[in-house]
Amino acid sequence: MGKVLMKGNEAIGEAAIRAGCLNYFAYPITPQSEVAEYLSRRMPEVGGMFLQGESEVAVAYMLFGASACGERVFTTSSSPGISLMSEGISYVAGAQCPVVFVNIIRGGPGLGGILPSQGDYFQATKGGGHGDYRLLVMAPASVQETVEMVMMAFPLAEKYRNPVMILGDGLIGQMMEPVEFPDHLRTEPTNKDDWATNGMDTRKDNKQNLVKSLYLDPTQLNDHNLLLKAKYERMKQEDVRYEPYNTDTDYKVLIISYGTMSRVCRTAIDNLKAEGLEVGMIRPQTLFPFPEKAIHDAAIKESCKAVISIEMSMGQMVEDVERCVQGKRPVEWYGKCGGDVPTPEEIMDVVRNWKLET
Amino acid sequence: MGKVLMKGNEAIGEAAIRAGCLNYFAYPITPQSEVAEYLSRRMPEVGGMFLQGESEVAVAYMLFGASACGERVFTTSSSPGISLMSEGISYVAGAQCPVVFVNIIRGGPGLGGILPSQGDYFQATKGGGHGDYRLLVMAPASVQETVEMVMMAFPLAEKYRNPVMILGDGLIGQMMEPVEFPDHLRTEPTNKDDWATNGMDTRKDNKQNLVKSLYLDPTQLNDHNLLLKAKYERMKQEDVRYEPYNTDTDYKVLIISYGTMSRVCRTAIDNLKAEGLEVGMIRPQTLFPFPEKAIHDAAIKESCKAVISIEMSMGQMVEDVERCVQGKRPVEWYGKCGGDVPTPEEIMDVVRNWKLET
Amino acid sequence: MGKVLMKGNEAIGEAAIRAGCLNYFAYPITPQSEVAEYLSRRMPEVGGMFLQGESEVAVAYMLFGASACGERVFTTSSSPGISLMSEGISYVAGAQCPVVFVNIIRGGPGLGGILPSQGDYFQATKGGGHGDYRLLVMAPASVQETVEMVMMAFPLAEKYRNPVMILGDGLIGQMMEPVEFPDHLRTEPTNKDDWATNGMDTRKDNKQNLVKSLYLDPTQLNDHNLLLKAKYERMKQEDVRYEPYNTDTDYKVLIISYGTMSRVCRTAIDNLKAEGLEVGMIRPQTLFPFPEKAIHDAAIKESCKAVISIEMSMGQMVEDVERCVQGKRPVEWYGKCGGDVPTPEEIMDVVRNWKLET
Amino acid sequence: MGKVLMKGNEAIGEAAIRAGCLNYFAYPITPQSEVAEYLSRRMPEVGGMFLQGESEVAVAYMLFGASACGERVFTTSSSPGISLMSEGISYVAGAQCPVVFVNIIRGGPGLGGILPSQGDYFQATKGGGHGDYRLLVMAPASVQETVEMVMMAFPLAEKYRNPVMILGDGLIGQMMEPVEFPDHLRTEPTNKDDWATNGMDTRKDNKQNLVKSLYLDPTQLNDHNLLLKAKYERMKQEDVRYEPYNTDTDYKVLIISYGTMSRVCRTAIDNLKAEGLEVGMIRPQTLFPFPEKAIHDAAIKESCKAVISIEMSMGQMVEDVERCVQGKRPVEWYGKCGGDVPTPEEIMDVVRNWKLET
C-alpha cells in the first residue's frame, strides 16, 4: 500500500492496527473522538475489538486487564481523560504492562479549551500518577511521524514491559497529510509467555505468571523500584530520539521545541537564515528519555549564545532544558497556552531579541 | 490550650478545625484513614461536616463544589487516592479554588505498599493533572510542623486562590508527638465575596461571581494561563520556605532532604560532625515554590564539593536540585523507595564515599 | 400557622420537616425536582441536611445507612429513579429500616414522558425489588392530603419498622393549593434505641444493635420472612385507609379510583347523579394494605351491577379489584397512560355504557 | 449430539449459544456465576462475545444497546442483580427490545441468602421496573426444560419484540441432569431489519430505524402503551403454557405450583394417590401470561374442594390464583422462603389438613 491521505486521528487508529494491535478501549473526548469513530467501524473489519468504557477510570483498568493477559492494547484520549486514568497508569507501570497511550492534548488546566496545547508535558514525563515510574514518551511532528511512532510504540512497550505514551496535540489529530504505513514496523508480540497471564498451556510449557503492583514487603518493593529504575536508565542509553535542524552552522541561538510547535520553529529558522541569522534546533522526539546530551552538546557550541525552549505550555520543558544546559548558557522560555499556536513571526522576534541582548 | 500528645493523622484533622475549616470530604485509604475516623467523631462536635464520597473522583468534585461556594474545605488521602483526584485537582486549580489537599504518601507505583515514601514528589510539584498549573506544596518534618502547615495552608490557599498540598508520609501520620495549635494561625477566610458563588446578598452588595475552568476562546485561555503563571511567580517571590542546618560551617557536602527523611539526615550530620566531617543541609519546607536560590547559594560555597539529594524516592527532587546547582557542583542522588527509611549509617556512608571521591 | 398556598412538591418538603425529618437524600428528576430545590434552601434554615447523591443507586444506600443509625430520613424521586433504587429498597425492607420514599410518578415505561401517570402501581404495591417484602403505600388526592400522608408516613414507618411509600403523580406535585401542617402530626421517633445503630451509650444502657438483611441460615431466613409477613398482615388489620363516596345511595356502578384520578371521578359521579344515575366510589388511600373488604362489601350491594377500576395505567389496580370482588360482579378497567388525564366526560361515557349493558 | 450430563447453569449458557445467541453481558453473583465462568471459556470458541459490565446497571444498558442493534443478547443474574437492572428492564421493554433475562432467584429480600427461592415472582410478573410493561416469564422445572425455554426465549422475544425472563432458582442452576439441545429450537433472528439500528445498507433497502422509549407527547405515549398492552393480550391468547398433572382424576384438592417446587409436589401427589387421596396440579410454565383459564377450569371441577398455591415465597402467586378462581373455591397458600425446600411430607400434611377441613 502506498501513500494515502488521512486525518491524523484516523491515521492513529489505522497505525495501531497495522502494528498488530487489535484491542482498543476508549472513552470519547474532543479533540480526538475521531479515533474512536474510525476504529468502531474499522476494528470489526479486521477481527479486532473496540470497547467503550463507562469512564476513563474504567478504560484504564480494561487496558490493565487485557494487557496483563498478553494482548496488545491501546487507548486514545485527551488531557482530562488522561488525568482520570492516572491511578490506572501508575498501576500499569507498576505491574510492567506494555500499554500504549495516545494523548491528543487540549488546552488546560481543568476543562480549558479544545484547541491544541502542549500543557501535559509534565504529566507525561514526570508521571501524572503516584509513585516512582516513568512512561516512555514520544512526540510526533507530522501525521507520518505519528503513524511511525504509534507503530514503534508497541514493540518498545514490550521491550521494556513499560507503558508508552504518544503525546500529540489537536493539530496532529486534525490535520490531513499523505501517509504510508511501513511494513517493517508491523511486528509481533515477543515475550508475553514470560510474564503474561495468557493461560497455562502444557504444550507451551508455560510457567505460572503473576501480574501485580502490590509489594507489601519493603525490601521487595524497593527491589521492584530499583528494577524499574534500571529500565528507565536503559531507555536513556538505548532509546533517546531527537532531530537536529540547522545545527551544522554557527548558530547564535539554539531552539528546543517539539511536536507541531517545532514545525513553526523550522519556518522561523529558515526565514531568519534568509535574513542572515543562523539558529539551530534540537527537536526531542522522545520526551522521556530526554535528549539530555544532545541538548547539552548543542548548547555549548562556541557560536551559541542562548537556548530557548519554545513550548505551547507555560514553561514545562524548559526545566528539563535548564537541567541539560547546566548553567553554561542562558536558558529562556517562550510559549503560549490557549490554542493559538505562536506564529513564525513571533518566534523570529523572540530570537532577534536574544541576538540584540547578547 | 497547651501541648497535647497526638498521633500525626489526628493532629491533621484537629489542625484543620483550629484553622477554621469545618468541611472535610474524604474516602478512606491506608495509611491515613485515622484522619477520617477522628473527624467523623470530631466534626459534629464543632458543628462541622464530614462527608465520605463514593470514590476519590467524587471527593475531588465535592471539594470543588463546596470551595466554589466560598467554604474552607480540605481532604486527606494517600497516593492512589490522589491520582484518582487528578482530573479534579486540575479543575480546582484552573478555577482558582483554595482547596487544601493532604497526601500521606505510601509506597508506589500502583498498589505498592502501605509504608512511608516520598514517591509522589513529581506528582505534587509538577502537577499530576493535565494542563499548566501548580500546587503550593509544603512538606512537614514533624507532627508540630504538620499542624502549623495545615493551619497556614488555608490562608495561603486563599491568598493565591490556589490549591495547597501538604505532602507527608506514613511516618508523619503514624508518629505521636506533643503538639500545640498556635492561636495566631487561626484565621478567617478573607476574600470569598470577591469570587465565590456564595449567594448574592443585596446588603453585601455582592457582584455576580462565576467559578469555572472553561475558556473556549484561545486568547482568553492564554490570558487565564498567564494570570495563573503570574501567581506561581509571586509564590516564588513571597512564599519560599526552607530550613538550613549546619550551614554556618565549612561543610564539604551539602544534603538536600525534606520531610521525615531530613530528620534522619540531621542525625547523620550530627554524627559526622562528631567524626570531624562537616555536612550542611537545606531542608525545603515548600517543594513548590522550590528554594532554588537558597540551594544554589549553599551549593557554591567554596568548601562545598558535592550536593546530594536524599529522598525516599527513586530520583525525583534531584532533578530540581540539578536545575538549581547549574552544573557548578556535582549533584548526586541517594534514596530508597519501599518503606524502609534509610538509616543514619547509610547516609553517613553515602557522604563518606563522596568525601573519598572528591 | 394557618393555611398557606403551596405547590405540591414544596409542601412535600415542608411536611417532612414538620414531621420531624431533617435528613433528605435525593437525586433530581422531573417532575419533582422542586422538592430538592425547596429543601436545598430550607433544610439549612432548620438545621437539617440535604445531600444529593451521585445517582439514585447511591441515594438508596445513603437512606439505608442513615436510617440504620436511627435517623428519620426520606427521599423523593420519580419512576426511573425509583427503579434505580429497587435493590436498595429491598435491602431497606429486609433490614426493617423506616425510610420514607415519595414517588411522583411520570409516564413510562422507560424514559416515557414527564406528565402525570399511575403506572408504578405494581412496582409500589408488589415490590419492585427482589424477594418477599411489601411497602406500606399511600396515595394522596390533594396537596393537603399529601402533607398529611407525608407527616403520617414517619410514625407509620417506625411503627412497623418498614419503608413507607407515598405514591403521587405530576399533578399532585405541580398543583398549588392552600395547605396547613397539623401540629398533632408532628411526632418524635419512638423506638430507635431498640434496633438502630445509634451508638452505645452507657447512660442509656443501650444494647448492641445490628441492622442487616443477610441471613445465610435457611431457617433464620425463613423465620425472618415470617416475621416480615406477620407485619404485613398486621398492616392489613390496623392501617387500611380508604374514602367512600356516594356509597349511601343505591348505586348501579362502583368505581375504584385513587389519587388525582379519583378527583375527576368525583366530578363524573356528581354529574351523573344530576342526570339521575347513582354511582359509588371507593377511593383507596392505602394501596398496600389494599381495602379488600371495603371494596368487596361495596361491590356486592344489591343495586350494584358492575365495578370499574379507573386508573392512569394500563390495568394494574384492576387485578387487585378482581381479587377482592371474587367474581361476584363483573370487573372492568378503564384507563389512559400517557399524561392526559381522562376527563369527567370520558368517565361518564364509560359508566353509561355499563348501565346500558347491564 | 445426544444427551450430555450438565449442570443447570452450564446448560443455560450452552442453550443460549445453541439458540443462536452469541452476545452475553453479565456481572457475577451467586448462585449463578457458573454461567459466566462457562461462557467466558465457551463464547470465544464459537466466535461469540462475553462482556462483564462494571455493575448490573451497566449490564442492563449494554443489553439495551446491543439488542437495539439487532443482535441476540442475554444476561443471567440473581435477585439483587435483577433489581439493579430494573430501570434498564423498563427501558428495554419500553423500547421493545427482545432481550432475554435469566434470573436464578436467591432468598431475599435484601442480601437474603444464597439458597433457592421463588421470592421474585412479583418482580418478574408485575414488572419490577416503573411503568406499564410486562415480561414474558417462563419457569422451568428441570434442566432439560431450562434448556428448551432458553432456546425458545429468543424467537419468542423477537415474535413480540419484548423482553423474556426465565425464572429459575438455585436448584435449577446447581443440579446436574442429562440434557439435549433440540436442533429444531435453533432459530434465526427474523425481523430485525424492520426495527433495529443495524445499519442502513442500500442493497437491503433498509429504512431508517429508531429505537427509543421516550414519547413526550401524551397522545403518542398513550398510543405506545396501548400498543404494548395489545402485545400482552396477544401473549395471553397465543403463548400460555402449563402442564396438568393427575387432573384426569376426581381430585379433591388442586395444587398450583411451578419450578422445582412442583417436582416436590408431584412426589407428594403420587404418595397421596397411593394412600387413596387424589390431588391434581396445574404447573404454570409461563408465569406471564398466567394460565388463568386452565386454573379456573380445573378449580371448578365438581370433585375439587380447594385450591392451594404452593410457593417458595411468602404468598405471591396465590394472588393470581385467587384472581383466576374468582371465589368459586377456597384458595390457600403454603410456602417457605429461606432456602429449605418444603418436603413431600410437608406438602402431604398441608393437603390432608384441607381434606379434613372440607
Q: Over the stretch D126-166, which tens digit does the pLDDT of each residue have? A: 979 999 999 999 999 999 999 999 999 999 999 999 999 99
Which alpha helices (H) appear in chain D, and where do they start and end?
8-18, 33-45, 56-68, 79-84, 86-94, 121-125, 143-160, 170-174, 192-195, 218-238, 259-275, 292-299, 317-325, 344-357
* A204 to chain D, closest Cα gap in Å: 19
Q: According to the model, what pLDDT value does residue B144 have?
A: 97
CB contact under 8 A, A54 and D51: no
Contact residues on chain C for D84, CB-CB shorter than 8 A:
57, 86-87
Q: According to the model, what pLDDT value does residue D238 have?
A: 98
For residue C106, give the DSSP letter.
B
Q: According to the model, what pLDDT value does residue D62 have?
A: 97
Q: Of A135 and C169, which is predicted with more confidence?
A: A135
Q: According to the model, what pLDDT value does residue D218 have?
A: 96
Q: According to the model, what pLDDT value does residue B63 have?
A: 98
Answer whether C87 touches D (CB < 8 Å). Answer: yes
- Would the pLDDT of D304 be above 60? yes
Contact residues on chain A for D51, CB-CB shorter than 8 A:
51
CB contact under 8 A, D110 and C132: no
Determine what percent of chain B is predicted with pLDDT higher than 70. Answer: 97
Contact residues on chain C for B43, CB-CB shorter than 8 A:
none
Compare CB distances from A87 to B80, B222, B336 and report the shortest one's residue: B80
Instruction: Give D206's pLDDT tier (boundaries 50, 70, 90).
Output: low
CATH fold for the domain made of B242-357: Rossmann fold (3.40.50)
- Would the pLDDT of A222 be above 90? yes
- Would the pLDDT of A25 be above 90? yes
Q: According to the model, what pLDDT value does residue D201 have?
A: 65
Count of CA atoms in the C-beta half-sphere (13 A) of B94: 28
Low-confidence ranges of chain C (pLDDT < 70): 1, 200-206, 355-358
Q: Of D126 and B191, which is predicted with more confidence?
A: D126
Q: According to the model, what pLDDT value does residue C158 have?
A: 97
* D181 to chain C, closest Cα gap in Å: 31
Collapsing DSSP states into helix, strand and coil, what is residue C96?
coil
Q: According to the model, what pLDDT value does residue A190 have?
A: 82
Contact residues on chain C for D315, CB-CB shorter than 8 A:
132, 229
For residue C118, give the DSSP letter.
-
Compare CB distances from A338 to B113, B219, B328 and report the shortest one's residue: B219
Average pLDDT over residues B188-192: 85
Whole-prediction pTM value?
Answer: 0.91
> C272 near C279, Cβ under 8 Å?
yes
Chain D residue closest in CA terms to A50: D51
Average pLDDT over residues B88-93: 98
- Would the pLDDT of B286 be above 90? yes
Interface of D with A in 141-160 (CB under 8 A): none
Instruction: Give B199's pLDDT tier (boundaries 50, 70, 90).
Output: confident
Q: According to the model, what pLDDT value does residue B238 have?
A: 98
Contact residues on chain C for B58, CB-CB shorter than 8 A:
54
Determine what percent of chain D is predicted with pLDDT higher than 70. Answer: 97
H or E element that contains D23:
strand D23-26
Answer whether A1 touches B (CB < 8 Å). Answer: no
CB contact under 8 A, B94 and A80: no
Q: In the numeric block, which cell numbers belong to residue A54?
A: 463507562
Determine what percent of chain D is predicted with pLDDT higher than 90. Answer: 92
* D36 to chain A, closest Cα gap in Å: 17
Contact residues on chain A for B122, CB-CB shorter than 8 A:
122, 126-127
Q: In the numeric block, which cell numbers belong to residue C37?
A: 430545590
- Would the pLDDT of D191 be above 60? yes
CB contact under 8 A, B131 and A113: no
Q: In the numeric block, which cell numbers belong to residue B241?
A: 520556605
Alpha-carbon gap, residue C349 to C334, rounded angstroms: 11
Averaged pLDDT score across all residues of chain D: 95
Q: Which of C99, C111, C132, C318 to mutate to test the interface with D (most CBs of D within 10 A)?
A: C132
Contact residues on chain C for D87, CB-CB shorter than 8 A:
80, 83-84, 86
- Would the pLDDT of D199 be above 80? no
Domains A4-238 and A242-357 share a fold: yes
CB contact under 8 A, A109 and B130: yes
CB contact under 8 A, D338 and C113: no
For D61-115, how does the pLDDT look when each residue is reduced to its tens digit (9 = 90+)? Answer: 999 999 999 999 999 999 999 999 999 999 999 999 999 999 999 999 999 999 9
Q: Of A21 and A199, which is predicted with more confidence?
A: A21
CB contact under 8 A, C222 and D339: yes
Q: Where are the beta strands (DSSP E) in C212-252?
A: 242-245
For A88-126, how does the pLDDT look when each residue is reduced to its tens digit (9 = 90+)? Answer: 999 999 999 999 999 999 999 999 999 999 999 999 999
Contact residues on chain B for C69, CB-CB shorter than 8 A:
none
Alpha-carbon gap, residue D300 to B282, rounded angstroms: 97
- Would the pLDDT of D253 be above 90? yes
Instruction: Specify whether domain B4-238 bears CATH 3.20.20.70.
Output: no
Q: According to the model, what pLDDT value does residue C346 have?
A: 97
Contact residues on chain B for A336, CB-CB shorter than 8 A:
222
Alpha-carbon gap, residue B140 to B295, rounded angstroms: 18
Nearest Cα to Cα of residue A166 among A124, A128, A138 = A138
D70: left (phi > 0), else alpha (psi -120 to 50), else beta?
left
**Is chain C adjacent to chain A, meaning 3+ CB pairs within 8 angstroms?**
no
Q: According to the model, what pLDDT value does residue A198 have?
A: 83
- Would the pLDDT of B340 be above 80? yes
For B130-171, how does the pLDDT look when each residue is reduced to its tens digit (9 = 90+)? Answer: 999 999 999 999 999 999 999 999 999 999 999 999 999 889
Answer whether A233 touches B (CB < 8 Å). Answer: no
In chain D, how long is the greatest CA-to-CA distance? 73
- Would the pLDDT of A202 be above 70? no
Average pLDDT over residues D229-243: 98
CB contact under 8 A, B80 and A228: no
Contact residues on chain C for D214, CB-CB shorter than 8 A:
110-113
Answer whether A210 touches B (CB < 8 Å). Answer: no
Contact residues on chain A for D44, CB-CB shorter than 8 A:
none
Q: In the numeric block, which cell numbers belong to residue A291?
A: 535528549
Average pLDDT over residues B8-34: 97
Neighbours of chain D (3+ CB pairs under 8 A): A, C
Chain A residue closest in CA terms to B80: A87
Alpha-carbon gap, residue C141 to A202, rounded angstroms: 72
Q: Which of C91, C130, C326 to mutate to test the interface with D (most CBs of D within 10 A)?
A: C130
Alpha-carbon gap, residue C242 to C232, rounded angstroms: 17
Alpha-carbon gap, residue A106 to B221, rounded angstroms: 11
Answer whether A51 touches D (CB < 8 Å). Answer: yes
Q: Could you tell me how many CB contacts below 8 A there are between chain B and chain C?
A: 4
For residue C94, give the DSSP letter.
H
CB contact under 8 A, B113 and A221: yes
H or E element that contains A5:
strand A4-7
Answer whether A165 touches B (CB < 8 Å). Answer: no
Alpha-carbon gap, residue D297 to D244, rounded angstroms: 12
Question: How is B157-168 classified by DSSP, letter by letter?
Answer: HHHHTS-EEEEE
Neighbours of chain A (3+ CB pairs under 8 A): B, D
Contact residues on chain C for B65, CB-CB shorter than 8 A:
none
Q: What is the ipTM of this complex?
A: 0.96
Nearest Cα to Cα of residue D117 among D64, D80, D92, D154 = D80
Q: In the numeric block, which cell numbers belong to residue C175?
A: 398543583
Residues pairing with B49 in the sheet? B23
Contact residues on chain B for A57, CB-CB shorter than 8 A:
57, 84
Q: According to the model, what pLDDT value does residue D281 have?
A: 98
Answer whether B51 touches C (CB < 8 Å). Answer: yes
Domain ranges of chain C: 4-238, 242-357
Beta carbons within 10 angstroms of residue D37's beta carbon: 14
Contact residues on chain C for D114, CB-CB shorter than 8 A:
216
Answer whether D114 touches A (CB < 8 Å). Answer: no
**Is chain A adjacent to chain B, meaning 3+ CB pairs within 8 angstroms?**
yes
CB contact under 8 A, A51 and D51: yes
Alpha-carbon gap, residue A342 to A313, rounded angstroms: 11
Q: According to the model, what pLDDT value does residue B355 have?
A: 65
> B153 near B137, Cβ under 8 Å?
no
Q: According to the model, what pLDDT value does residue C204 have?
A: 63
Averaged pLDDT score across all residues of chain B: 95
**Is chain B adjacent to chain D, meaning 3+ CB pairs within 8 angstroms?**
no
Q: According to the model, what pLDDT value does residue A208 have?
A: 84
Q: In the numeric block, which cell numbers belong to residue A134?
A: 516513568
**Is chain C adjacent to chain D, meaning 3+ CB pairs within 8 angstroms?**
yes
Answer whether B123 touches A (CB < 8 Å). Answer: yes
